[in-house]
Every structure is written in C-alpha cells, then in structure tokens.
Copies of this chain bind each other. A is one copy, B any other.
Amino acid sequence: MRILVINPNTTQSMTAKIGEAAASVASEATQIVAVNPADGPPSIEGYFDEVFAIPGIIAEMGKAPAADAYVIACFDDTGLDAARCATEAPVIGIGEAAFHMASLVAGKFSVVTTLARSVPAIEHNLAKYGLASRCAKVRSSDVAVLELERPGSNARHRISQEIARAINEDHAEAIVLGCAGMADLAHSLSEEHGVPVLDGVVCAVTLAESLFKVGLKTSKIGGYAAPRGKRFAGMFAPLSPTQAEIV
C-alpha cells in the first residue's frame, strides 16, 4: 500500500524527520511518501497558522497518484475533517492516532506539547474525539516548533522535565508527545521515564496500515460526505473535477 504522509508546514527538515519516523515502522510492503506543501507557514503554532496550511494539505492530496491512506502529520490534526471529505481512503491525524494508541496501553495519559497557545486546540480535539476523560492534562513545554529542529537547543531537556511533572503531578500512566517534530525523541524519553511515550507519526502510520488491511474506508453518509459539486471562485485549485469546480 501507499501512504501519503503530509507535513502541513513548509519546513523540509521536519518533513524528512517525519518521513524517517514513518518509514521506521511501516511494513515492507508499504510505501511511505512524505511531502509538504510549497505554500503555507513554516510551522503551525495555534489556530491562525492552521488556516493557511489546510489548502496545501488538500492540494497535496489531489496530486496523482492517489494514495491508499493519508496521514496528516501535525499534532493539531490540522484540516483532518476536510481531508476526510476529500477522499474515501482513510485519513489519520497524528494527534488522534496517539490518543487512541495511548488509550490501549494506559488508563490515563498526559500530553506534552510545544507552546501554551497550542494547548486549547489540543483540548478541543480531545473533547471532540471523546477522549478528554483519558487525558490527565495537556502541558506545554514552552518549546517553539522550530527549536526542535535546531541542534544545540535544550528542547529535549525541557520536554523531559515536563514529562516528569506529568507523571508526578497528573499521575499520568503514559505520555503523548504533542508535536510531529518530537518524533525522534519518543524512544529515549520512554526509556528515561519508564512509561510509554508516544509519538503520533508512528502511531498514525500503523493505524493507516490497520485500516487498510481491515478494508475500512471513511464513511460517506454524514459529515464526511464528498464535497458537493460547486464552482469555487478564485485561487484555490480544485481537488478533482468531480468534486469541486473552479471558475
């Protein structure tokens, strides 16, 4: 199968890191293609940045050849609902992927994310997914997304400290790392703290494989129905001729 892993920001070093993480767990028969839009924000930190990343996600999904499953590799699950409308193939957000997987190995987990401004969007997602009661706390480490790409920053140290607080104060039994850019840290942080530490990228890839193997596709009878054919004005490329039309 072919999984398109979309990093919704334009930072290619992050795309590369995400692609590596994705490939590390994929089955031999799975082809991982990691991309990022050419246009949009270099990192997604809060609601504003999200807006300008989503058209690029849809555009990447519209490029041939079609994938068997899509992974949106931003922890906010940016544009997930819209992406599900745009295809029948499964679409997985790395945030939801990590939340669901954490729920299978721990009674309660805490999330450690980047900046405080990202906390509300993550809390909203947890409530929407139904998993808020499984999350002890969403914590920010006060690490900006691109600090994670900067060699020599003390980002890992600050994240590790926040994990310790989550275990001691929240009684979290597992930790979910709240940014795609932390994908390379999960293993060593798990060893350090003696609890499962989850990166959403690898979770999403294996869930995409799972859905594919089971033959499950996105339901098309409710909120994820295909877009109605209509003539969009202006600058946005149509996803496909049958779905939306540009004047």
Contact = CB atoms under 8 A, between A and B. Distances in A.
Interface of A: 10, 25, 27, 37-43, 45-52, 54-55, 58, 79, 81-82, 84-86, 90, 92, 96, 100-101, 103-108, 116-121, 124, 127-134, 144, 167, 171, 173-174, 187, 194-196, 198, 202-203, 206-207, 209-211, 213-225, 227-228, 230-236, 239, 244
Given A39-B234, A40-B233, A202-B214, A221 B207 contact: no
A108 B216 CA distance: 15
B104 A232 contact: no
Given A131-B130, A206-B209, A222-B116, A51 B39 contact: no
B129 A127 contact: no
A40 B82 CA distance: 15
Contact of A107 (B134, B202, B209, B224): B224
